[in-house]
Amino acid sequence: MSIPRFDGYIFDLDGTIYLGDQILPGATELLTTLRREGRRIAFLSNNPTRTREQYSLKLHRLGIEVALDEVINSSYVLVQWLLAHAPGATLFVCGEAPLIGELEAAGFRLSEQAGSIDFVVASFDRTFTYHKLQVAFDAIRAGARLIATNPDRFCPVPGGGEPDAAAIIAAIEACTATQCELNVGKPSPIMARTIGELIQVPPERCLMVGDRLMTDIAMGAAAGMATLLVLTGDSSRADLATAPAQPTYIAETLLELI
């Protein structure tokens, strides 16, 4: 199927533009072509283990020109949601240093005292310990609400993957008999609205490009965008049989968009 041109392009990062520290086939050539044509471009990641600044620097190192305001990730969206809906909240974060630093920089207080915690934030956390689980357990039993940065089961890396935020969410839900009430990452409409405000192109004139049916494709479809599944990361053709959201287009690599 021929893939037409769109006014706006939203690209997932991990598994779509790069895998680990390797640029994926066609990414550099495609982005150069789209820039030359004057298309609006944004980059979107559920991964909160880097800040927007760090993502921008990584893309530059890989040879991709990008402005900071073209990059959105789940930690940025979480900060914006908390500033709008719970300014001054006290948090306990099951997450890594970049996420914690962004929350502190936005003025949020962090605590391990159960009775003072308003929100437990579950995230991709390779430093997760039983102590963190205990603090989250105590906080939620004392009335704290459970929210999360992203719902991903794993983060793709060369040769496999790393357990992602879904594992942390599941551990907290299992011991507290509660449910995570808010997840700001893809496929959340909160993430879709944030990227829409950034790219300033109507959704029907945008193409969401990603490697995950349950996040990238689901979010784009729900937001009214055309979607393209690229088979360089998480999802395969076999996964299409059970996916509730079907992509508009499928490509083996980004080279097919050129």
In order of 3, 39, 184, the CA distances from 201 in angstroms are 19, 10, 21
pLDDT under 50: residue ranges of the chain = none
| H-helix or E-strand spanning residue 163 | strand 160-163
Active site residues: 12, 14
pLDDT of residue 155: 86
What's the burial of 115, exposed, middle or buried (CB within 10 Å: 0-12/13-18/19+)? exposed
Q: Where are the domains of the chain?
A: 8-46+186-257, 87-183
Beta bridge partners of 122: 94, 148
Fold classification of 87-183 is Rossmann fold (3.40.50)
Q: pTM score > 0.85 for this model?
A: yes
Beta bridge partners of 12: 44
pLDDT of residue 182: 97
Query: In a 3-state reduction of DSSP, which class is residue 97?
Result: helix
159: region left, alpha or beta (phi > 0 left; psi from -120 to 50 alpha)? left
pLDDT above 70 coverage of the chain, percent: 100
CB within 8 Å of 175: residues ≥ 6 apart: 133, 137
Question: Is-same-fold flag (8-46+186-257; 87-183)?
Answer: yes
pLDDT of residue 1: 64
pLDDT of residue 231: 94
pLDDT of residue 89: 98
Which residues sit in the known binding site? 12, 14, 45-47, 186, 211
pLDDT of residue 193: 93
pLDDT of residue 233: 86
pLDDT of residue 90: 98
pLDDT of residue 95: 98
Q: What is the CATH number of domain 8-46+186-257?
A: 3.40.50.1000
Which residues sit in the known binding site for Mg(2+)? 12, 14, 211
pLDDT of residue 189: 95
pLDDT of residue 157: 79
